[in-house]
Structure 1
Amino acid sequence: MTRARRTLLLLVAPSLALLVLINAYPLVYAAVQSVRDGTLIDPGDFVGLDNYRDTLTSPAFWRSVRFTLIFTAVGVFGSWLGGLGLALLLRTRIPGRTVFKTLLLLPWVVPVVVSSTAWNWLVATPQSLLPTLVHALGLGTPLFLADPVWARITVCVFKVWISVPFMMMMISAALTGVDRAVYEAADVDGATRWQQFAHITLPMIARSTYISWILMTIFCVNDFPTIYLLTGGGPVDATTSLVVLSYRTVFQNFQVGPGVAIAFVMTLSLVVVSVALYRQIRKAHA
């Protein structure tokens, strides 16, 4: 090892040690808690993998898995389709494009607490604006946050709404790297708009697409405030995701071991999905 490398390692070592301490200690402590039957105060006794076994055999856990999958799939692909459409629209010459793009960023920029409060005002009760409007059209009075099916739909739509700007920015950045000469050559060869989109646009932005899918998957699976502020996981656990179930188990039922076990299972699933998508990124880059 050269002197320059040793000097570099010595300079970087304090920062690396601090990062390892900040990240490794909570992880190790959580892993220890997941194999014990303690509470927030008492560490409890060692129970091995019982917490994981109980978690994986719990009907509540699998209900949460099912909703988490739905919430994540809708959040990822719904926001991607919306962001892709807006990014393509913003590449055209439309009046006030800069102002329009700025306004589209508001759902992502505004704090989720403010956004969820506004949505609660719009849909929470039969007297809210949207149910009143639907009733005036003669379509009944839907209970958007009190009916299990409508609650799931509302939460998923809200997630798509606040996530579309992020996807739009990711795709817009990717589209700027696509040479317009490629489209001009495709026009000369007689390619239709759909053929250009399918065989030029999508392959060119594939790497950015997979990256955005990884990030949005993480955002959706770990999204606690969106669900909790709108529905609290209800009604009748219809919108209880894994992260909400983990929170309830630890901080409401005071069962730290099972709650942390849920979080570890959730983290492992995220790692698997991220690795799978990362392989696709490498293929797209190659």
Structure 2
Amino acid sequence: MTTGTAIGALKRARSGVGNAGPGRSANNSKRRFSHSRIFFLFLLPSLILVILLNLYPVIYAGIQSLSNGDLLSAGEFVGLANYIAVLQSPEFWHAAIFTVVFTIVGVFGSWIVGISLALLLRTRIPANGVFKVLLLLPWVVPIVVSAMSWNWLVATPQSPLPMLAQALGFGNVLFLANPFLAQITVCVFKVWISFPFMMMMMASALTSVDVNVYEASKVDGATAVQTFTRITLPMIARTTYISWILMTIFCVNDFPSIFLLTGGGPVNSTQTLVVLAYTTVFQNFQTGPGVAIAFMMTIVLVIISTLLYRQIRKVNIE
């Protein structure tokens, strides 16, 4: 075999062609194309079904947001009148402000509690396995059971927490009758049912951090705070941003937590945008404005998710 032939064979071997020549390469390309076409044909029915199930409701809802209809009839086309009316409503802006507060407290409150418990579970504590199972209960228990339990805990003057507050000299404290206390209660409840999700996300991220990095930082004399801020947080940054995106979506779209606990009251103090959209459509029978609120929520969620996703792409360390 000549040197040129050997070099050509080596190049073909590296590219996966071998010594079969151009005819065999063309046959392989045709075979791959045939396999791809068959795979696409098998995938096509499911793809069409997914598009119809998702695209049709979105288009129909968009038409409803531009009409003055109700639950029974589509109504007449009114353009952007529903959006303008919603943006001029003080009730909408009150719900939007509380939605922002509820989301910020829910995301960062549950993240702080979750990452703190994830770091704690990495240490050797007694009954570690039982402790993990107990910490998952707020997330595992159905939301209806959790909301009813919290109602029993704080709703009436005979509930445990109001009785405790009265015994401590704070007077007759009604957590769900006072607007400010109701907002605090709803936000705390959201953190309570959400921290197990954050704990699992952070625990899975922490397992990917090399222990040798911590040992090296100890040798260099780094403090616990420096290790956490300069090693742990950068190493789990990507998972952190993903958990923030997911929890933001969960908080903005969280209907059962608020509806079961307070119903949006008292005097609409705990009403979020998703609760406002529900009451507008199914209680006031104003389909157009209610769907317009939902569409604006979707747009805001897409923008927030896009911004956080860009932060994920900037992270070079997992």
Q: Give the TM interval when normalised to the shorter protein.
A: over 0.9
TM-score, scaled to structure 1: 0.99
Larger Rg: 2
1:221-280, CA deviations, whole angstroms, 9 ceiling, x for partnerless residues?
000000000100000000000000000000000000000000000000000000000001
Instruction: State the distance in 1 between where 2:57 and 2:35 align.
Output: 34
Aligned to 1:280: 311
User: Do residues 102 (structure 1) and 133 (structure 2) align?
Assistant: yes
TM-score, scaled to structure 2: 0.89
Aligned counterpart in structure 2 of residue 156 of structure 1, from 174, 187, 191: 187
User: Do residues 139 (structure 1) and 179 (structure 2) align?
Assistant: no
User: Do residues 197 (structure 1) and 215 (structure 2) align?
Assistant: no
Aligned counterpart in structure 2 of residue 231 of structure 1, from 262, 268, 276: 262
By how many angstroms is 1:23 displaced?
A: 0.6
Instruction: State the distance in 2 between where 1:149 and 1:284 align.
Output: 39
Aligned counterpart in structure 2 of residue 44 of structure 1, from 39, 56, 75: 75
By how many angstroms is 1:220 displaced?
A: 0.3
Instruction: State the distance in 2 between where 1:10 and 1:96 align.
Output: 53
Aligned to 1:63: 94
Gaps of 5+ in 2: 1-29
Query: Aligned AA for 1:33?
Result: Q
Aligned counterpart in structure 2 of residue 176 of structure 1, from 201, 204, 207: 207
User: Do residues 215 (structure 1) and 246 (structure 2) align?
Assistant: yes
By how many angstroms is 1:138 displaced?
A: 1.2
By how many angstroms is 1:7 displaced?
A: 0.8
User: Which ranges of 4 or more aligned residues in structure 1 deviate by more than 4 Å?
Assistant: none
Q: What CA RMSD, in Å, does the superposition of the two structures yield over aligned residues?
A: 0.8
1:193-239, CA deviations, whole angstroms, 9 ceiling, x for partnerless residues?
11110110000010000000000000000000000001000000000
Instruction: State the distance in 1 between where 2:70 and 2:314 align.
Output: 46
Aligned counterpart in structure 2 of residue 15 of structure 1, from 46, 55, 59: 46
Residue-pair matches, total: 286
By how many angstroms is 1:79 displaced?
A: 0.2
By how many angstroms is 1:141 displaced?
A: 2.0
**3-state DSSP class of the match of 2:116?**
helix
Query: Aligned AA for 1:50?
Result: A
**3-state DSSP class of the match of 2:73?**
coil
Query: Aligned AA for 2:111?
Result: W
1:112-139, CA deviations, whole angstroms, 9 ceiling, x for partnerless residues?
0000000000000111111001111112
